[in-house]
Amino acid sequence: MARKFGGDRLVIASHNQGKLREIAALLEPHGVDVVSAAALGLPEPEETGDSFVANAELKARAAATAAGLPALSDDSGLAVDALDGAPGIYSARWAGPDRDFRLAMERVERELAARDGANRRARFVCALSLCWPDNHCESFEGTVAGSLVWPPRGERGFGYDPIFLPEERTLTFGEMEPAAKHAMSHRAEAFRKLIAACFAP
């Protein structure tokens, strides 16, 4: 039985403004007051985990301990079949110290081109971890399958969204209205699991 969230304030353990906006929008219907780790001046811990869940728990635990409040962290990324799941947990690192995802998208395309005729199937993965100051964590994972397009399409979303075309859709995540993306994304699937386990009455 998952532990229920009983408070009214939650730290979002992320310094990524795109993730903060999406998470705040998904939590809004549940009346939770959110504050970012950045706003509290909390440092970003080094992501040393070997999976999305491990990194999400590491970040949420660090924020919950430092803030004395429950903390929610997201670790997510793009996994490309032909690249053996890369960039995977290194998705943000492929964007370099300046978080330039144009460079990251170009690297994905370059590495696919080097594998002549490689299939372009990919998936986005999102792990969400809700941790309390006593170190208890509840973690959930969501995925969405699709393929990669080039050149990038759309200015919405963030990260690799402009090159990701979900299955049976004609718009990339970078072209979709935010509400349409929220309804079907990897983050939305992980959130549905989180809400059902930890927030639903």
Instruction: Supply the pTM of this predicted model.
Output: 0.89
Which of 75, 81, 116, 134 is catalytic? The answer is 75
Residues 6 or more apart whose CB falls under 8 angstroms from that of 31 comprise 8
On average, the pLDDT of the chain sits at 92
- 90-114 residue pLDDT tens: 999 999 999 899 999 999 999 999 9
In angstroms, the CA 198 to CA 201 distance is 8
Question: What is d(CA 120, CA 150) in angstroms, rounded to the nearest whole number?
Answer: 10
CA atoms within 13 A of residue 26's CA, in its CB half-sphere: 28
pLDDT of 26 over the 90 cut:
no
Under 8 Å CB-to-CB from 194, ≥6 apart: which residues? 128, 130, 138, 140
What's the pLDDT at 6? Answer: 85
Q: Which tens digits make up the pLDDT trace of 56-88? A: 999 999 999 999 999 999 999 999 999 999 999
Stretch (H or E) spanning 105:
helix 101-114
Domains (range + CATH), the chain: 9-199 (3.90.950.10)
CA atoms 48, 51, 56, 62: torsion sign: negative
pLDDT of residue 145: 97
Q: Is 75 a catalytic residue?
A: yes
pLDDT in tens, 148-168: 999 999 999 889 999 999 999
